[in-house]
Amino acid sequence: MNSSLSLWLTRVLVLTQLIHGALSWGKEGHYTVCKIAESYFEEETVAAVKKLLPESAQGDLASVCSWPDEIKHHWQWRWTSPLHYVDTPDYRCNYQYCRDCHDTHKHQDRCVTGAIFNYTMQLMSGSENSRRIVHYNLTEALMFLSHYIGDVHQPLHVGFLGDEGGNTITVRWYRRKTNLHHVWDNMIIESALKTYYNKSLPLMIQALQANLTHGWSNDVPSWESCQLNQTACPNSYASESISLACKYAYRNATPGTTLGDEYFLSRLPIVEKRLAQGGIRLAATLNRIFSSQPKLAEA
Ligand SMILES: *[C@@H]1O[C@H](CO)[C@@H](O)[C@H](O)[C@H]1NC(C)=O
Ligand SMILES: *[C@@H]1O[C@H](CO)[C@@H](O)[C@H](O)[C@H]1NC(C)=O
Ligand SMILES: *[C@@H]1O[C@H](CO)[C@@H](O)[C@H](O)[C@H]1NC(C)=O
Ligand SMILES: *[C@@H]1O[C@H](CO)[C@@H](O)[C@H](O)[C@H]1NC(C)=O
Ligand SMILES: *[C@@H]1O[C@H](CO)[C@@H](O)[C@H](O)[C@H]1NC(C)=O
Ligand SMILES: [Zn+2]
């Protein structure tokens, strides 16, 4: 390729990444969730996912897990914007599907948990009976489901309506002016990469995976399980998120606050655990959808 053209392409890519990086559980967060999930796929899930992935993914689910953020501002996809989050009434630290899962026009089911149920159902209908004609685009369903399971684990994607999940709470992250939502989507992860992982995302993912097989190994079965034999259980993830938002995200982060070491060091473990849980639960959900043989209980 002509070198000035490729330089220009690089600039455009970097620019779009900068813009998109500012939008949702950042690119790094979604990549991490999906990368962790991949290592917990059962054999049939690996095959089914590979079949559904778009060519651009080159066989790697993690590479397309930010796709729903990249498209959500294009006019033909604008209807998907409310599907990235759910808001609770101000200062309510609990979540209720019927009360909270709607968009600003009060259309029921138009929120992140509704979207997770929707795309799970679509993928189930495609895998249960492959002879039935499926009207859904299951490639899109897979990318949406993988992304939204990540989003629902970001505590401020289940935040208060009045501050738009922290988006209107202006704070400083060390010396940089930003907002609280962005701190949880991106800044905590970026600071962790700089401080602990030599700016290397693969190193951070490795550390989380090591923790999953050691420190967190006893918790993994309970993270995977879904009450009442459901295929997907986003409601419990949303309840956890709003509870964490109240306990950690909003606390000591009123408008105008400067957040530094104290906030960073106490909140980073929460972010790391949510990324790991998101990965485990995405894998568990896709395994329930695609792997027909139920795994025998370990005990
Ligand atoms: C479910 O998915 C379809 C296909 O993307 C979409 O048209 C519909 O609006 C979605 N519904 C909800 C509640 O997310
Ligand atoms: C399914 O969705 C993907 C991503 O939007 C698109 O590239 C592909 O053309 C769609 N497939 C069909 C059959 O419409
Ligand atoms: C950190 O990353 C740089 C390249 O980005 C590499 O040259 C260096 O060896 C790494 N340091 C450690 C301690 O891994
Ligand atoms: C869950 O599934 C198991 C095995 O299929 C069944 O024995 C059990 O009764 C189910 N539990 C509920 C609450 O549906
Ligand atoms: C690993 O797990 C321990 C115990 O839960 C936790 O304190 C630590 O922050 C975790 N480390 C990483 C990198 O997630
Ligand atoms: Zn999102």
Side-chain half-sphere exposure of 86, counting CA atoms within 13 A:
35
| Contact criterion met (CB below 8 Å) for 144 and 115 | yes
Query: 209-232 pLDDT, tens per residue?
Result: 999 999 999 999 999 999 878 999
Contact by Cβ (8 Å): 87, 165? yes
Each residue's pLDDT tens digit, 160-199? 999 999 999 999 999 999 999 999 999 999 999 999 999 9
Two structure tokens written together for 238? 């949303």
**Does the global pTM surpass 0.75?**
yes
Half-sphere exposure of 46 (CA within 13 A, CB side): 6
Percentage of the chain modeled with pLDDT above 90: 84
Rg value, the chain, Cα: 19
Least confident among 3-7, 103-107, 265-269: 3-7
The fold for domain 3-290 equals P1 Nuclease (1.10.575)
The candidate with the shortest Cα–Cα distance to 175, out of 245, 244, 261, 80, is 261
Q: Collect all residues with Cβ–Cβ distance below 8 Å to 116 and sequence separation of at least 6.
A: 145, 148, 149, 152, 232, 234
Ligand 3 centroid to 197 CA: how many Å? 9
- Ligand 6 centroid – CA 3 distance (Å): 34
Of 37, 24, 108, whose CA–CA distance to 66 is shortest? 24
* Average pLDDT estimate for 270-285: 98
Q: Could you report the per-residue pLDDT of 126-146, keeping only the tens digit for each?
A: 876 555 567 899 999 999 999
User: Would you list the domain boundaries of the chain?
Assistant: 3-290
- Given a contact cutoff of 8 angstroms between Cβ atoms, the answer to whether 101 and 108 are in contact is yes
pLDDT in tens, 52-100: 999 999 999 999 999 999 999 999 999 999 999 999 999 999 999 999 9
pLDDT at 200 over 50: yes
Please tell me the predicted confidence (pLDDT) of residue 203.
98
Q: Which residues of 218-240 are buried (b: 16+ CB within 10 A; e: fewer)?
A: eebeebbeeeeeebbbbbbbbbb
pLDDT, position 15: 43
Summarised one tens digit per residue, pLDDT across range 14-42 is: 444 444 433 457 899 999 999 999 999 99
Helix (H) or strand (E) holding 201: helix 201-213
Atom of ligand 4 nearest to the CA of 229: 1
139 lines ligand 2 (CB under 6 A): yes
Identify residue 160 by its one-letter amino acid code.
F
- Asked if pLDDT for residue 7 goes beyond 90, the answer is no
Measuring from atom 2 of ligand 5, which residue has the nearest CA?
Answer: 215
